[in-house]
Chain A
Amino acid sequence: MRKGEGGPAMIEPGDEAELAEAVAAARGPLRIRGGGTRPLGSPVAGEVLSTARLAGITLYEPGALTLVARAGTPLAEVEAALAAEGQRLPFEPIDHRGLLGTSGAPTIGGVVAANASGPRRIAVGAARDFLIGVRFVDGEGRVVKNGGRVMKNVTGYDLVKLMAGSWGTLGVLSEVSFKVLPAAAASATLTLRGLADAEAVRALAAALTSPFEVTGAAHDPGAAGGPATLIRIEGFESSVAYRADRLARRLAPFGPAEVERDPAANAAIWAAVRDVRALHGLPGDVWRFSVKPGEGPALAARLGARRLLYDWGGGLVWALAAPGEDLRARMGAIGGHGTLVRAGPESRGRIPAFHPEPPALAALAAGLRRKFDPRGILNPGLMDEVAPAGSVPA
C-alpha cells in the first residue's frame, strides 16, 4: 500500500485486501476518492483514500453483454473497450468536469457511487439499472459482494442498487459489474425551434409517448438562435430514417423539425446536454431537480434561475441560480427532489447538497449507515446525513 509522502496524506491500496486492511486500520474519517472529478456533496474532512490503483477490466464478454471492472478503472478505458466491440454503457454517464471545473479522469467506480446517468436515462434507465454486481469494503473493513455477473439475479437482497448513488458512504467499491448494450448503428436528432418551455415539454411528451423509441428528450430555452427542443432516435440506419420521418409528422403541430443525421454532430449535441454545457463557466450555484416531467416548466417558473436546461422529457431541470439560496424552498407542492450540484463558498456546507428526507426515511437511511459504517468514517457528512452516535470526530 502506498501512503502519500511529502504531499497531503493519501492512502492508495493496490488491491481489495489492502483496501480492507486500510479501512479496518483507519483511526479517523476517510475521504473516498475515485477520479476526483465529481466533488458533490457537503465537504468532508479526513484522510484521502484513493481507488486509483484498483484498476483494470477483469472480465468482458460481448456475447453475454457483460463487463466487470475494478472500481478505479478509468471510465475512458471501459468505454474504449466497449466501443471496440460495438457496445456501450447504455445510461450515458454525465461527465461532471466541465460543470464543476475539475480535471482528472473519471473512474467507473465514481460513476456508480454517483449513479451518474445522462439523457438516455429517460429511455433505458440509470447507472443503477445496468449495475448487476458489486464488491465493496464496508466501514469495518469487511469485504462484501452482492449481485454478480449475470443480468437476472434475485438471489438475496439487492445491495447493488443500494450502493449505486451512495457516494461512498456505505462502503468503498472495489469492483463493479454491468449489463451493457449494443451501440446504435445510426442516430438522428430532431430539433424544434422557438417553443416556450411548457409547449416544448408537451412536444417532448408527444415524442416519448410515441412507439418510436426516443432515447433523448431535452429542451434548451437559452440556446444560441432561440429555444431548441431536442429529440433523439437511435437504431439501425433504415429504422432511424423511418422513425425520424414519422416523428416529424407527429410533431408537426409544434412546428417544423430540423433533422440532423450526421453521427459526429449528434454525438456533440447530446454530449452537451449530458454534461450541461449550457451552464459551464457561468457564475452561480448549480441545482439539479428531478420532478414529474410535466411539472418541469412549472418548477422552473418558480426558481427564478439565470439559466435553465431541461432533460428527461422535462423531468430533469438544471438551474443556474444566485449563490446562497436554498432553491428547494421554491418547490412548493411540486413533488420530487433537488440537489445542489455546484456551490459557491456562500452555499457549500451551509445549504444541504442532498434533498432532506422525511423523518421516517431519514431514520432508515441513518440506520443503514450505522450498520454498514458503525464508526461513521466513510465520507461522513457528504450526503448531509446526521452523524451516527459514537462516530469518529473529524
Chain B
Amino acid sequence: MDMPAPDAGVIARKDRIVARLRSVLPPDAVIDDPAETRAYECDALTAYRCPPLAVVLPASTVEVAAVLRICHEERVPVVPRGSGTSLAGGALPTADSVILGVARLNAVLETDCANRFIRVQAGRTNLSVTGAVEAEGFFYAPDPSSQLACAIAGNIAMNSGGAHCLKYGVTTNNLLGVTMVLMDGTVVEIGGPHLDAPGLDLLGVICGSEGQLGVVTEACLRILPRPEGARPVLIAFGSNEVAGACVSDIIRAGVLPVAIEFMDRPCIRACEDFARAGYPDCEALLIIEVEGSPPEIDEQLGLIRQIAARHEPLEMREAKDEDEARRIWLGRKSAFGAMGQINDYMCLDGTIPVSQLPHVLRRIGEMSREFGLEVANVFHAGDGNMHPLILFDANRPGDLEKCEAFGAEILKLCVEVGGCLTGEHGVGIEKRDLMGVQFDPADLEAQMRVKDVFDPAWLLNPAKVFPLAATAARRRAA
C-alpha cells in the first residue's frame, strides 16, 4: 500500500501554516508537537501509520471554515477525522497534511420528537445520539459495531450500516440534512427536517464520500420511536449451505426480521472460548431478531421456527427473557474482540447477493487452505454483507502481505458473483487499489468528476478511495 510522497514545500512552510492556524483557533486547538501528533498517526486500520503535519480541533462551523480557508490558500491537504474508528484507513494522514478532528463538535442542537428528528454537531458519537432521545422513547437506527466511539461525521463519510439495517437502512436512509464546509471555506446547508431535495440530491452523494467533498459539521438525523419489544432466536445448523438457504426462505416468506446474523464454526468457537455465551457446537448459526409487542413477536418467531424446521436445525433457542436475549447476542457482539484475543486479524466487508452465500463461503474455505491462513465468518446475512476475519500473525514476516493478498482474492470473488468490495466500512486506503476490479475507468472518472466540482484542487483527503495512478494528474494539478 503506497501513499503519495509528501509535498516538501508544505513541510518546509510548517511554521507559517501552524502560526496561521493558531491565529484562528484557541491555543489548545492546534497540535504540532511531534510527540502529540503521533496520537493521530492512524485510525483503526493500525497496519499503516504516519504522523500528520499538524492537528486542529475546531469547536464550531465558523472555526472549521477558517481552518479550511487557510489550508486552501496554503495548498495543504486536509484529512477529516471523526473518532478514528475507520477500519479502512479513511483517516490515515500524510506527512504534509493537517488532520481536522471534529471531536469538539459534540453538542446536541435541537431535538424534535413530534417531527422525528434531531440536529447534532457531527463529532457527537453515534450511541450518544440515541442517548439524547431515549428518555422520550426514540432511537437513532444505524448501529455500527463501533457505535460507542464512532462519530456521526465518520458515519456520514462512510455511510455506515450496522446489524439492524435490513429493516432500518443505513446512514444515507436516516440522514435528513447537513451543514458542510467546502474546502474553500464556503458553508453550505443541505436538507433539513423536510424530506427530499429541491433539486439534485447533493445530500445523497455527500453521504459516503469519505470526507472528500467537504467537512460535515452538523447533521439533521431521523429518529424513530422505539418498538414495544424485541427478541432474538438462535438457530444452529449442520452446514453453511443449509443456514444460507434458511435465510433466503425466511425473507421469501414475507417476514422482515430486524437483524439476521450469521456465524460459522471458527467464529463460534472463538466466541465461545472468549465470551462463554453457551453457543451450541455446530457448523453455522443464525441469530434472528424480530420486533413488536409480545404476541407479535410470538407470531413472527413462530413462522421463522416453522421455516427453520424444514432445514433440519440442530437446535433452536428462543430467548425467554432479557437475560437470555443478552446471552444470545453476547457471543456475536464480542466476535471481533474474541478474534483479537487469538490473533491479529483483518476484517473485510464485501457484500454479495444473498443467493451466493453458500458458494462464496465454500470458496473462502478453499482459499483459506491455499493461503494457509484461517478465516472466521460473521456477517449480516439478510443483506449479504460479509465480514470474513482473516487471522494472521503481525510478528511473522510476510504474514501481513499474505493476508492482504488473501483479502484481495476474497473481495474479487465478491465482485465476481455480483457483489461489491465494501458494504459498510468504506474504501479508504484499504480497498483503494482494488477499485478497478469493480469499476471501469469511465465509472471511476464519473465519480472523480464529482470531487472536481466540490474540491477542484483535490486537497480534501486526496489519497483515498481512488487508485493513486488514477488521481495522480488531478492531485499534481492542485
Contacts and interface: CB of A to CB of B under 8 A. Distances in A.
Interface of A: 61-66, 85-86, 115, 117, 121-122, 125-126, 128-129, 138, 142-146, 148-162, 164-166, 170, 181-183, 185, 202, 205, 208-211, 213, 235-236, 238-239, 242, 290-294, 312, 315-316, 335-337, 339, 354-355, 357-358, 360-362, 364-365, 367-368, 370-372, 383, 385
Nearest to A122: B195
Given A150-B418, A152-B165, A239-B299, A157 B205 contact: yes
B238 interface: no
B413 interface: no
Nearest to B411: A155
B402 to A, nearest CB: 24
Interface in B91-142: 112-116, 137-138
B254 A292 contact: no
A251 B201 CA distance: 36
A86 B201 contact: no
A64 B355 contact: yes
A181 B440 CA distance: 31
B447 interface: yes
B169 A125 contact: yes
Interface string B340-380: 00000000000111110000000000000000000000001
Contacts of B161: 152, 154
Nearest to A367: B453
A360 B194 contact: no
Contacts of B447: 146, 156-157, 159
B426 interface: yes
Residue in B197, B418, B426 whose Cβ sees the most chain A Cβ within 10 Å = B197
A319 to B, nearest CB: 15
Interface string B152-189: 00000011010001000110110000000010001111
B424 A154 contact: yes
Given A128-B201, A154-B427, A372-B446, 13 more contacts: A64-B353, A85-B252, A125-B173, A144-B443, A144-B446, A152-B165, A153-B423, A154-B426, A156-B427, A157-B465, A182-B255, A209-B137, A294-B114
Contacts of A128: 201, 204
B208 A157 contact: yes
Contacts of B445: 142
A66 B451 CA distance: 30
Nearest to B171: A154
A238 B198 contact: no
Given A151-B383, A154-B158, A161-B204, A86 B254 contact: yes
Contacts of A183: 254
B326 interface: no
8 contacts: A62-B251, A64-B251, A145-B439, A148-B419, A156-B427, A209-B116, A236-B300, A291-B194
Contact of B199 (A85, A336, A355): A355
A150 B423 contact: yes
Contacts of B443: 144-146, 156
Contacts of A357: 198-199
A62 B248 CA distance: 8
B192 A336 contact: yes
A42 to B, nearest CB: 13
Interface string B260-287: 0000000000000000000000000000
A293 B203 CA distance: 20
A365 B199 contact: yes
Interface stretch (B15-23, B34-42, B224-232): B224-232
B409 interface: no
B249 interface: yes
B205 A158 contact: yes
A335 B193 contact: yes
Contacts of B332: none
Contacts of B293: 242
A158 B195 contact: no
A355 B204 contact: no
Nearest to B300: A236
A165 B209 contact: no
Interface in B417-440: 418-427, 431, 435, 438-440
A153 B435 CA distance: 13
A343 B380 CA distance: 48
Nearest to A156: B447
Given A152-B165, A158-B207, A242-B296, A145 B201 contact: no
A182 B454 CA distance: 39
Contact of A354 (B199, B355, B385, B419): B199
B218 to A, nearest CB: 14
A162 B172 CA distance: 12
A211 B198 contact: no
Contact of B450 (A166, A208, A368): A368
B423 A154 contact: yes
The 10 closest A-B pairs by CB, nearest first: A161-B204, A63-B248, A337-B198, A355-B198, A367-B453, A182-B254, A152-B423, A336-B194, A371-B449, A292-B193
A159 B446 contact: yes
B296 A63 contact: no
Given A61-B353, A154-B158, A182 B256 contact: yes
Nearest to A124: B169
Contacts of A117: 196
Interface string B460-478: 0000011000000000000
Contacts of A155: 420-422, 427, 431, 435, 438-439
A200 to B, nearest CB: 14
A154 B446 CA distance: 16
B8 interface: no
B408 interface: no
B295 interface: yes
A382 B439 CA distance: 30
B380 A152 contact: yes
B194 A165 contact: no
Given A156-B447, A239-B292, A151 B384 contact: yes
Contacts of A239: 292, 296, 299
A315 B205 contact: no
B91 to A, nearest CB: 16
B450 A159 contact: yes
A293 B176 CA distance: 13
A156 B256 CA distance: 28
Nearest to A145: B443
Given A144-B442, A335-B194, A337-B194, A66 B353 contact: yes
A358 B198 CA distance: 11
A159 B209 CA distance: 10
Residue in B114, B165, B182, B446 whose Cβ sees the most chain A Cβ within 10 Å = B446
B200 interface: yes
Contact of A365 (B202, B352, B426): B202
Nearest to B176: A292
B115 A294 contact: yes
A152 B385 contact: yes
A315 B113 CA distance: 14
A209 B112 CA distance: 11
A371 B115 contact: no
Contacts of B196: 115, 117, 126, 165, 290
Contact of B114 (A61, A126, A209): A209
A292 B192 contact: yes
